[in-house]
């Protein structure tokens, strides 16, 4: 099938590579095709990732002790402080990009793949698909995770810390989230329909 | 080399199907199709310039105000970095410096460089330009690191009289600058770099 490179515009012959190889543009070396995994497998991992997500918000991430006073925080509480504090803008950006968008992306992937697996025409999930492509730029879960670690290191200077179960679950959520994003090749939903 | 312009084709960026240039709706996924991202140059320039403006207060104003036993301690991004370097945590200091000072400046310089390159004919360094473009596409989101750290620390440390942390005005300016650079990169169409002739500057 003839196509053009989305990064330099050269006309290229498209063919599907196996799982160990990817197709590169001969002119600008953009990745043109990378094989995705089976849809069923992606759905399963996406579901398990969502199962990690919900408790990771509610369970304590950190318990702090300063001079006999102690305070326990969960990710959800940490997010809500901003709205009472008058810095809603930062709070909204941090919650959206760090927590909400990764979770929404997983839900969207399930909403795209389950109907296609059943045999629905991909055109029916077109709007969900386009929304997913837009959100992809704004999912910053991995950055959020690293920032949790940095915040913990910074706080160690001020207080005695105990890491809670929430942090382990959140790490598990992000690892499975990444597996899903890497395995899912959005273009596959159109190609599998044609074959 | 045959290109989509020379063959009068237009690639759908949603499903990567190659349409004829006259089709405005993709034949396969029915999304909107155009040969190049619309108003790519002006939109990228506009967002990059606004981002540049917000970077100034982001670096001069305090990012975070720590109050310990009634004593206020406001620090800007650079002061935070220096604090870590002087207190034996050079590693974290470097991570924060790279993520919140070096990366935003590098990203904006690359965007302006790429914009100039689209206007120059007969260029040679396209491979380098594409490499830079892919780098800024990849690292863009990491600039949010410092914002997230401040956000988390503010919400975790609320001991009323003993110690509190409040976000400074720089946090909002910095978050805006980062978001605007990401939008600028999104709007940039790297195919403009490769186009030759009168279609090139579209």
Please name the residue of chain A whose CA is at the shortest distance from the CA of residue B130: A28
Domain range for B87? 39-199
B107 and B14 fall within a common domain: no
Q: Are residues B16 and B68 in the same domain?
A: no
B87 plus B2 within the same structural domain: no
Kindly determine whether residue A9 and residue B13, on different chains, have CB atoms separated by under 8 Å: no
Nearest Cα of chain A lies from the Cα of B21 at a distance, in angstroms, of 12
- Average pLDDT (A141-159) is 82
* Count of CB atoms situated within 10 Å of the CB of A194: 9
Task: Dump pLDDT digits (tens) for B12-61.
Answer: 888 888 888 888 888 888 888 888 888 999 999 999 999 999 999 988 88
- Sequence-distant (6+) residues with CB within 8 A of A160 are A64, A65, A66
Nearest CB to A78 within list B16, B152, B191:
B152
Domain match, B95 and B9 both = no
Backbone angles phi, psi at A8, to 5 degrees: -130, -10
B9 and B62 housed in the same domain:
no
Say yes or no: B48 and B134 in one domain.
yes
Residue A194, pLDDT score: 54
Q: Report which secondary-structure segment, H or E, holds A29.
A: none
What is the value of ipTM here, to two decimals?
0.82
Please indicate, yes or no, whether residues B88 and B142 belong to a single structural domain of this protein: yes
Burial A10-47 (b: 16+ CB within 10 A, else e): bbbebeeeeeeeebbbebbebebbbebbebeebbebbe
Q: Assess whether B130 and B174 both reside in one domain.
A: yes
Whether the predicted pLDDT of A105 surpasses 90: yes
- Is B198's Cβ below 8 Å from some Cβ in A? no
Query: Could you tell me the CATH number of the domain that includes residue B115?
Result: 1.20.140
Provide the pLDDT for residue A131.
Answer: 92
| pLDDT above 90 (res B79) | no
Q: B96 and B131 share a domain?
A: yes
Q: How far apart are CA B36 and CA B188, in angstroms?
A: 10
B86/A contact by beta carbon, under 8 A: no
Contact present, A11 and B2 (Cβ < 8 Å): yes
pLDDT of A7 higher than 60: yes
CB contact under 8 A, A69 and B162: yes
Whether B148 and B161 share a structural domain:
yes
- Please state the domain count of chain B: 2
One domain for residues B181 and B129? yes
- Whether residues A140 and B141 touch (CB distance < 8 A) is answered with yes
**CB-based burial label for A108 (10 Å; 0-12, 13-18, 19+):** buried
Flag whether residue B90 sits within 8 Å of chain A, measured between CB atoms: no
Q: Which of A126, A129, A155 sits opposite B157 (nearest CB)?
A: A155
Q: Residue B35 gets which letter from DSSP?
A: S
Asked if residue B45 and residue B30 are part of one domain, the reply reads no
């Amino acid at each position: 099938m003839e196509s053009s490179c989305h990064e330099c515009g050269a006309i290229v012959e498209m063919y599907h590579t196996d799982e160990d190889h990817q197709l590169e543009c001969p002119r600008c070396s953009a990745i043109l095709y990378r094989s995705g995994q089976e849809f069923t497998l992606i759905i399963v991992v996406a579901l398990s990732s969502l199962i990690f997500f919900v408790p990771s918000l509610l369970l304590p991430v950190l318990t702090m002790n300063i001079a006999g006073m102690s305070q326990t925080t969960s990710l959800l509480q940490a997010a809500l402080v901003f709205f009472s504090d008058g810095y809603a803008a930062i709070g909204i950006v941090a919650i959206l990009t760090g927590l909400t968008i990764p979770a929404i992306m997983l839900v969207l992937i399930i909403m795209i793949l389950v109907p296609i697996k059943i045999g629905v025409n991909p055109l029916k999930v077109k709007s969900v698909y386009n929304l997913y492509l837009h959100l992809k730029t704004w999912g910053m879960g991995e950055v959020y995770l690293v920032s949790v670690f940095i915040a913990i290191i910074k706080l160690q200077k001020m207080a005695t810390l105990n890491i809670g179960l929430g942090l382990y679950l959140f790490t598990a959520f992000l690892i499975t989230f990444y597996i899903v994003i890497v395995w899912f090749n959005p273009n596959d939903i159109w190609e599998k329909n044609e074959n | 080399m045959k290109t989509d312009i020379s063959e009068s084709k237009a690639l759908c960026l949603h499903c990567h199907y190659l349409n004829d240039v006259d089709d405005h709706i993709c034949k396969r996924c029915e999304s909107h199709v155009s040969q190049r991202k619309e108003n790519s140059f002006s939109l990228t320039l506009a967002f990059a310039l606004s981002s540049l403006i917000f970077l100034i207060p982001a670096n001069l104003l305090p990012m975070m105000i720590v109050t310990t036993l009634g004593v206020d301690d406001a620090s800007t991004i650079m002061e935070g970095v220096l604090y870590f370097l002087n207190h034996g945590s050079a590693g974290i200091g470097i991570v924060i410096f790279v993520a919140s000072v070096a990366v935003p400046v590098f990203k904006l310089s690359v965007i302006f460089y790429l914009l100039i390159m689209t206007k120059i004919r007969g260029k040679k360094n396209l491979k380098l330009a594409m490499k830079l473009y892919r780098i800024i596409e990849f690292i863009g989101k990491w600039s949010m690191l410092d914002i997230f750290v401040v956000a988390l620390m503010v919400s975790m440390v609320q001991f009323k009289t003993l110690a509190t942390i409040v976000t400074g005005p720089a946090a909002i300016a910095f978050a805006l600058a980062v978001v605007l650079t990401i939008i600028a990169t999104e709007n940039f169409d790297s195919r403009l770099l490769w186009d030759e002739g009168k279609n090139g500057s579209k």
